[in-house]
Amino acid sequence: MLGRVFLMDSLPAYDRLYTYQLPVLPAPQTWAAGLRLQIPFGRQNHWREAVVAEILASEPPDQTTAGTAPLTAGAEGPLIKTAGLPLDPYPILNEDQLKLCAQLRIRYACTWGEACRQMIPPGLGGRSTEKKQRVWLWRLQAPDQAAAAMENGEIRYENQARVLEYLLDHAQATSEELFHACQVSLSTLKTLEKKQLLTHTIIKQLPDMPADQAAAATQVSAVPGSWTAGRDTSASACGLQLTEDQQRALEQLRQALDRLPGHPGHNSRTALSEFLLMGITGSGKTEVYLQLAATVLEQGLRVLMLVPEISLTPLMTERFVSRFGSRIAVLHSRLTGSQRLQEWKKIRGGQVAIVVGARSAVFAPLADLGLIILDEEHDSSYQSDHKPRYHARTVARLRARATGALLLLGSATPSFESYERVLSGRSTLLQLQHRPAEAKLPRLEVIDMRKVGKADPAGLFSQPLYQALSACFERGEQAVLFLNRRGFAPLWLCPACGFSVDCPNCSVALTYHQPCQHRPAQLRCHYCGYLQQAPAICPVCGQPMAGWGMGTEQAEVVFQQLFPGQRILRMDQDTTTARGAHKDILEAFRRHEAAALLGTQMIAKGHDFPLVTVAGILSADLLFRENDFRAEERAYQLLTQTAGRAGRGELAGQVFIQAFDVENEVLKAVCGGTYEAFFAMQQAFRRALQYPPYSCMGTALVSHPDEKVARELCQSLEARLRFQWQTWPEARDAQLISLGCSSASLPRLNGRSRWQFTLRCQSERLISQCLNFLARQRLPKDSSLSLSMDPA
Ligand SMILES: [Zn+2]
Ligand SMILES: [Zn+2]
C-alpha cells in the first residue's frame, strides 16, 4: 500500500507530500490518513516524524494479497522507500482536519507541519516515554542571594524576576509549573541557573495518564441519537422568559439549521449558514447560544463555542457547563500540557458534545459539527500572532463550509468585516435591541477634562466621576474603572531637560513601576521585558527625574487616597500572570469583596456584574492615538463594551467618559449615534483609501539585529516579488500593488530592526500566492521574515 506523507518539521522549500510504501500492520490495525509515523528521509535516511495525508491504493479485501499491492501509475517507481510503523494507535487528524491543514498551508503560507501542530496538543506522543517520566524540580540556590539580585538591579528581565519571585514564595516548583505560573520558557530557567541563582534536580514521576482513559481515547464512540436525552434544556425549564427579539432570532436560526447539508430540504446557498447576531450589551446573546446549542445537540450533532479568552469570560463557560453538564470540554491557554492532552483525547474520542474554548479551540477535533459560535467576534484576541497567523473567524468559516455546520457570530459591536458581509448578502443579520426585563441601557456622559474640576492633584478623577463614585459606594453598589495603560507612569523623565529612559532593545520608552513586595521601583519595557532601576538623577543635566503620565498602578494609589475606606481590585497583565489569577480577581469582585474593579481592556470583555452601576473611562484619549486604520473601530468597540458593564442588573447605570479630545468622531458615535451611523462614516473612509474589507492586505515584516541588513533584505524581497508577479496574468486585473518598504511602526524590538512592506489587492488568493512566494525565499543568517494576512 502506498501513502502520501508530509514531514512534521520541514523547511518551506522541502514542504510537500512524499510517496512512501506503507508496511503491513499487525491486525486489527490498518493504515489511515491522519496517522503519525516515522519515515527514512534524505540521502542519509535519517528517521523523521511524518503524517499520512492520503492513502493511494487501498488494501484489497482479500488478505492473501495484503502488502503486495502493485504500484500505481505515476508513483515514483522503484525509488519508493518503505515507511516505519505508526507512532500512535489512532490517527491524530481526521479527514476534515487534513483538508483544513491543506487550506491553512496555502492561505497563510505555512508548512504542513506548522498547520498540523495547531490541531494536536503539544505533549502528544512525543519523545521517548523514559524522558517523559522525568520531572525537573527547581529551587533557589540561596534565597537571600536571589532577593539581593533583584534589589540591586542585577536581574534585567521581567520574566527572570517573575521566576525568582515565585520561588521566593514557593520554595520549589517543577518546570511545567513555572512555565505556566510565570509564563517563561526553559531557556529563562537555564539562564538563571547559569547565573547561579537557580538549581535543579531530576526526579522520576509516574505517567500522568491513567491507562483506561488512554485506551478510551483510542476508539471513537458512535454518536448517540441525541445528546440531550433525558434532559430538559428549554428556556422555560430553566426558569427563563425569552424576549421577543430572542425568540425571533432563534426561530430564524432553527429554520436555517434544518436547511443545512445533511438535512432534508437542504439549500446550499452560503448566506443561509452564516449569521451575525448583533445584540446591545446585556441583551441576552448567551441565552440564544444556549438554546440553539440544545437544538443542535438534539439532532445528535456537536457544538464548538469560541470565546475571546476563557479566563476572562468565566461566566459564559459556567453557563454552558451548568446547562449541559459533563459533556463539555473546556480548552484554554492556561491548561498545563497534560490537562490539554487529556481534554484533546476526550474530544477526539467522541466523549464530549460541546467544546468551549479560546482561539486555538477552533481546531478542536470534533466530529459531526453542527454549529460553530464565535462570541464577541470583533475581539482582537481571535487573531493569532504566531505562525501561522490565522484569524479564528476565518478558520471557523472554512470549517463550517467544509462540514456543513452553521456559523453564528455574536457581538454588540461587530467587526467591519462581518458587518460588510451582511450588507453584501453573504451573511444574515439578527438583532437584539432590548435588554431583558427591567435592565435599561446606561446613561453616558462625556467629561471635558479641559474644563472640569479634578478631585485629585494628578488629575485622574474628575469631580463628576468622583461624586458619582462616592454616591455609588454609599448605596452599597460597585464601579468599574478603565485605563488602557499599565504601570505607574508610562515615562520616566527629567522635567528640566526632557531626557527620558528608553529600552536598549526596543524603540520605546520604559514604563515606571512602583516598588512592591519583593522588588524596588523599576523601569520596565512592556515589549521585551527588559528592566532596570529608575535613576533618581538625570544623567544629562543632574536634575531629579520623575514619572510622567498615568497608568493603572497610579490610578489604584489615587483611588485609595480618594476613598480610603473602599477596597479596589486591579486587573492588568502585572496582576494576572499567575494561573487562575483572572478568575480569582473576577470572583472576588462578583462576591462584592471590593467596591471597584480597575483594569486595562481585560475588564471590558463580556463580564456581568449585577451590582455595577458606574463605569468610568479614565482617559479615552489614549485610544484615539493609535496609528492604524483599525484604531477608530477598536476605540469604538472598547468604549461601547466598557460602557456596557454598567447597569446590567435591575439597577440603572451611569457611564463617565473622561477625555480632552471631546470633539472626536468616535466619542460622538459612542454617545449619541448608532452602530450603523458609525459604520457608514468609517465605510466612506475605508472605501476611499481602499482599506479592508474593500481590499485584501498582506504584510511581510523582516527583522535583523543590523538596521542596514533588515532594510536591504526588505527591499530585495519586495523587488523579487514584483519581478515574479509580472508573470502572473491575474495580478493586473486584481490591482496587486506594494505600498513600498518602510520601517515598522515599532522600528526596533528585542534588539532587532524591523522593516516591512504591505501588499494590497482585490483577490485574497493572490495575496496568499505572494506570501507563499516570499516564504520560499532564502534568507541570510540571523534574519527572520514574518508574513501575515489581514483577516477577512
Ligand atoms: Zn535632565
Ligand atoms: Zn524592550
CATH of the domain at 91: 3.40.1440.60
pLDDT at 224 (0 to 100) = 42
Contact 359, 384 (CB under 8 A): yes
Helix (H, G, I), strand (E, B) or coil at 330: strand
pLDDT at 211 (0 to 100) = 38
Give residue 186 CA to ligand 2 midpoint distance, Å: 20
Instruction: Answer yes or no: is 346 within a domain.
Output: yes
pLDDT at 678 over 60: yes
Q: Which numbered ligand comes closest to the C-alpha of 751?
A: 2
Q: Which numbered ligand comes closest to the C-alpha of 511?
A: 2
For residue 254, what are the domain limits? 213-220+237-432
pLDDT at 425 (0 to 100) = 92
Burial label, 425 (beta-carbon count in 10 A; 0-12, 13-18, 19+) = exposed
Q: Which numbered ligand comes closest to the C-alpha of 530?
A: 2
* Range in 23-37, 67-81, 106-120, 689-703 the model is least confident about: 67-81
pLDDT at 237 (0 to 100) = 61
Give residue 450 CA to ligand 1 midpoint distance, Å: 28
Q: Which numbered ligand comes closest to the C-alpha of 542?
A: 1
pLDDT at 509 over 90: yes
Give residue 130 CA to ligand 1 midpoint distance, Å: 59
* Range in 103-107, 215-219, 603-607, 755-759 the model is least confident about: 215-219
Instruction: Answer yes or no: is 62 within a domain.
Output: yes
Give residue 527 CA to ligand 2 midpoint distance, Å: 5
CA–CA separation, 353 vs 348, rounded Å?
Answer: 11
Give residue 264 CA to ligand 1 midpoint distance, Å: 77
Query: Is residue 772 very low, low, confident or very high in pLDDT (cuts 50, 70, 90)?
Result: very high
Indicate if the alpha-carbon torsion angle 668, 670, 671, 677 is positive or negative. positive
Q: Which numbered ligand comes closest to the C-alpha of 523?
A: 2
pLDDT in tens, 268-289: 444 468 999 998 877 889 999 9
Q: Which numbered ligand comes closest to the C-alpha of 531?
A: 2
Query: Same structural domain for residues 609 and 744?
Result: no
Q: Which of 548, 568, 598 is the last residue of a domain?
A: 548
Q: Which numbered ligand comes closest to the C-alpha of 505?
A: 2
To 5 degrees, how large is the angle CA 579–CA 115–CA 21?
130
CA–CA separation, 765 vs 733, rounded Å?
Answer: 13
Contact 603, 472 (CB under 8 A): no
Instruction: Answer yes or no: is 438 within a domain.
Output: no
Instruction: Tell me the percentage of the chain whose pLDDT exceeds 70.
Output: 88
C-alpha cell at 428: 444574515
Q: Residue 769: which CATH number?
A: 3.30.70.600
Q: Which numbered ligand comes closest to the C-alpha of 494?
A: 1
C-alpha cell at 281: 450589551
CA–CA separation, 160 vs 140, rounded Å?
Answer: 12
Q: Residue 413: which CATH number?
A: 3.40.50.300
DSSP string, 9-55: S--GGG-S-EEEEPPPPPTT----TT-EEEEEETTTTEEEEEEEEEE
Q: Which numbered ligand comes closest to the C-alpha of 509?
A: 2
673 contacts: CB under 8 Å, gap ≥ 6: none
Which amino acid is residue 706, in one-letter code?
A: D
C-beta atoms surrounding 772 within 10 Å = 17
Give residue 507 CA to ligand 1 midpoint distance, Å: 20
Give residue 788 CA to ligand 1 midpoint distance, Å: 41
Query: Is residue 150 very low, low, confident or very high in pLDDT (cuts 50, 70, 90)?
Result: confident
pLDDT at 234 (0 to 100) = 59
Query: Is residue 78 very low, low, confident or very high in pLDDT (cuts 50, 70, 90)?
Result: low
Query: Same structural domain for residues 276 and 355?
Result: yes
Instruction: Answer yes or no: is 227 within a domain.
Output: no
Contact 509, 548 (CB under 8 A): no
Mean pLDDT, the chain, whole residue set: 85
Contact 406, 256 (CB under 8 A): yes
pLDDT at 58 (0 to 100) = 56
Query: Same structural domain for residues 674 and 556?
Result: yes
> Which helix (DSSP H) or strand (DSSP E) does residue 724 occupy?
helix 707-725
Query: Same structural domain for residues 168 and 248?
Result: no
239 contacts: CB under 8 Å, gap ≥ 6: none
Nearest to 109 by CA among 650, 781, 773: 773
> Which helix (DSSP H) or strand (DSSP E) does residue 682 occupy?
helix 675-688
Give residue 537 CA to ligand 1 midpoint distance, Å: 8
Give residue 148 CA to ligand 1 midpoint distance, Å: 29
Q: Which numbered ligand comes closest to the C-alpha of 536?
A: 1
pLDDT at 210 (0 to 100) = 39
The owner of cell 471631546 is 662
Q: Which numbered ligand comes closest to the C-alpha of 529?
A: 2
Q: Which numbered ligand comes closest to the C-alpha of 503?
A: 2
Give residue 707 CA to ligand 2 midpoint distance, Å: 16
Nearest to 762 by CA among 732, 729, 724, 725: 732
pLDDT at 65 (0 to 100) = 36
Q: Which of 654, 685, 716 is the last residue of a domain?
A: 685
CA 379 to chain centre: 9
Q: Which numbered ligand comes closest to the C-alpha of 532?
A: 2
pLDDT at 172 (0 to 100) = 82
Give residue 46 CA to ligand 1 midpoint distance, Å: 61
CA–CA separation, 351 vs 333, rounded Å?
Answer: 21
pLDDT at 523 over 50: yes
CA–CA separation, 379 vs 284, rounded Å?
Answer: 18
pLDDT at 3 over 70: yes
Query: What's the helix, strand, coil split of the chain in %, to 5?
Result: 35, 25, 40
Instruction: Answer yes or no: is 322 within a domain.
Output: yes
Burial label, 64 (beta-carbon count in 10 A; 0-12, 13-18, 19+) = exposed
Contact 5, 37 (CB under 8 A): yes
Give the chain's radius of gyration (CA, Å).
Answer: 28
CA–CA separation, 360 vs 390, rounded Å?
Answer: 10
Instruction: Tell me the percentage of the chain whose pLDDT exceeds 90.
Output: 53
Give residue 191 CA to ligand 2 midpoint distance, Å: 18
pLDDT at 442 (0 to 100) = 80
The owner of cell 507612569 is 489
Indicate if the alpha-carbon torsion angle 359, 360, 362, 364 is positive or negative. negative
Q: Residue 188: which CATH number?
A: 1.10.10
Task: For residues 636-655, give the mean pLDDT.
Answer: 83
Give residue 748 CA to ligand 1 midpoint distance, Å: 24
Instruction: Answer yes or no: is 232 within a domain.
Output: no
pLDDT at 452 (0 to 100) = 93
Q: How many CA atoms are closer than 13 Å to the CA of 575, on its beta-carbon side?
A: 21
Give residue 33 CA to ligand 1 midpoint distance, Å: 67
Instruction: Answer yes or no: is 225 within a domain.
Output: no
Instruction: Answer yes or no: is 122 within a domain.
Output: no
Task: For residues 452-459, give the mean pLDDT.
Answer: 92
C-alpha cell at 71: 504500484
Does residue 259 or residue 554 have the better pLDDT?
A: 554
Give residue 525 CA to ligand 1 midpoint distance, Å: 21
Burial label, 92 (beta-carbon count in 10 A; 0-12, 13-18, 19+) = buried
Query: Same structural domain for residues 266 and 391?
Result: yes
pLDDT at 478 over 80: yes
* Range in 432-441, 534-543, 679-688 the model is least confident about: 432-441
Q: Which numbered ligand comes closest to the C-alpha of 496?
A: 1
Query: Same structural domain for residues 408 and 472?
Result: no
pLDDT at 606 (0 to 100) = 66
CA 1 to chain centre: 41
pLDDT at 441 over 80: no
In the β-sheet with 522-524, what is the strand arrangement from edge to edge?
511-513, 522-524, 531-533
pLDDT at 684 (0 to 100) = 92
Query: Same structural domain for residues 274 and 375?
Result: yes
Q: Which numbered ligand comes closest to the C-alpha of 502?
A: 2
Query: Same structural domain for residues 566 and 670?
Result: yes
Give residue 500 CA to ligand 1 midpoint distance, Å: 8
Nearest to 549 by CA among 601, 502, 617, 486: 486
C-alpha cell at 187: 531557556
Give residue 449 CA to ligand 1 midpoint distance, Å: 29
pLDDT at 266 over 80: no
pLDDT at 471 (0 to 100) = 96
Query: Is residue 74 very low, low, confident or very high in pLDDT (cuts 50, 70, 90)?
Result: very low
Burial label, 640 (beta-carbon count in 10 A; 0-12, 13-18, 19+) = buried
C-alpha cell at 761: 489587492
Contact 75, 28 (CB under 8 A): no
Task: For residues 724-749, give the mean pLDDT.
Answer: 92
Task: For residues 177-195, give the mean pLDDT.
Answer: 86
Q: How many CA atoms are closer than 13 Å to the CA of 747, on its beta-carbon side?
A: 10
pLDDT in tens, 612-628: 999 999 999 988 877 78
Give residue 745 CA to ligand 2 midpoint distance, Å: 14
Contact 609, 645 (CB under 8 A): yes
To 5 degrees, how large is the angle CA 505–CA 508–CA 510?
90
Query: Is residue 450 very low, low, confident or very high in pLDDT (cuts 50, 70, 90)?
Result: very high
CA–CA separation, 589 vs 586, rounded Å?
Answer: 5
Query: Is residue 598 very low, low, confident or very high in pLDDT (cuts 50, 70, 90)?
Result: very high
Burial label, 724 (beta-carbon count in 10 A; 0-12, 13-18, 19+) = middle
Task: For residues 282-306, give the mean pLDDT.
Answer: 91
pLDDT in tens, 368-422: 899 999 999 999 999 998 889 999 999 999 999 888 899 999 998 999 999 999 9
pLDDT at 231 (0 to 100) = 57
Give residue 139 CA to ligand 2 midpoint distance, Å: 28
pLDDT in tens, 320-337: 888 888 789 988 777 777
Give residue 483 CA to ligand 2 midpoint distance, Å: 22
Give residue 540 CA to ligand 1 midpoint distance, Å: 5
Query: Same structural domain for residues 555 and 464?
Result: yes
CA 437 to chain centre: 34
Give residue 536 CA to ligand 2 midpoint distance, Å: 21
Give residue 491 CA to ligand 1 midpoint distance, Å: 14
The owner of cell 508577479 is 725
Task: For residues 436-452, give the mean pLDDT.
Answer: 82
Query: Is residue 260 very low, low, confident or very high in pLDDT (cuts 50, 70, 90)?
Result: low
pLDDT at 578 (0 to 100) = 76
Give residue 748 CA to ligand 2 midpoint distance, Å: 8
Burial label, 755 (beta-carbon count in 10 A; 0-12, 13-18, 19+) = buried
Q: Which of 117, 142, 170 is the last residue of a domain?
A: 117
Give residue 545 CA to ligand 1 midpoint distance, Å: 7
* Range in 425-439, 441-455, 528-542, 565-579 the model is least confident about: 425-439
Give residue 538 CA to ligand 1 midpoint distance, Å: 5
In this structure, what are the phi and psi dihedrals at residue 649, rounded to the nearest 5 degrees?
-90, -145
pLDDT at 265 (0 to 100) = 43
Query: Same structural domain for residues 306 and 414?
Result: yes
C-alpha cell at 598: 480597575
Give residue 490 CA to ligand 1 midpoint distance, Å: 17
Give residue 378 CA to ligand 2 midpoint distance, Å: 29
CA–CA separation, 187 vs 144, rounded Å?
Answer: 23
Give residue 535 CA to ligand 2 midpoint distance, Å: 17
**Total count of residues recorded for the chain:** 792
Q: Which numbered ligand comes closest to the C-alpha of 526?
A: 2
Alpha helices in 581-664 (DSSP H): 581-590, 621-624, 631-643
Give residue 155 CA to ligand 2 midpoint distance, Å: 14
Give residue 175 CA to ligand 1 midpoint distance, Å: 44
583 contacts: CB under 8 Å, gap ≥ 6: 311, 314
Query: Is residue 133 very low, low, confident or very high in pLDDT (cuts 50, 70, 90)?
Result: low
Give residue 512 CA to ligand 1 midpoint distance, Å: 17
* Range in 253-267, 295-309, 456-470, 520-534 the model is least confident about: 253-267
pLDDT at 35 over 50: yes
CA distances from 256 to 290, 292, 400 (A): 16, 11, 13
C-beta atoms surrounding 103 within 10 Å = 17
Q: Which numbered ligand comes closest to the C-alpha of 500?
A: 1
Q: Which numbered ligand comes closest to the C-alpha of 749?
A: 2
Query: Same structural domain for residues 593 and 701?
Result: no
CA–CA separation, 589 vs 26, rounded Å?
Answer: 58
Contact 303, 253 (CB under 8 A): no
Give residue 633 CA to ligand 2 midpoint distance, Å: 28
Give residue 56 CA to ligand 2 midpoint distance, Å: 51
pLDDT at 232 (0 to 100) = 59
Query: Same structural domain for residues 313 and 171?
Result: no
The structural domain count of the chain equals 6
Give residue 531 CA to ligand 2 midpoint distance, Å: 8
474 contacts: CB under 8 Å, gap ≥ 6: none
Which is it for strands 134-140 and 172-174: parallel, antiparallel or unpaired? antiparallel
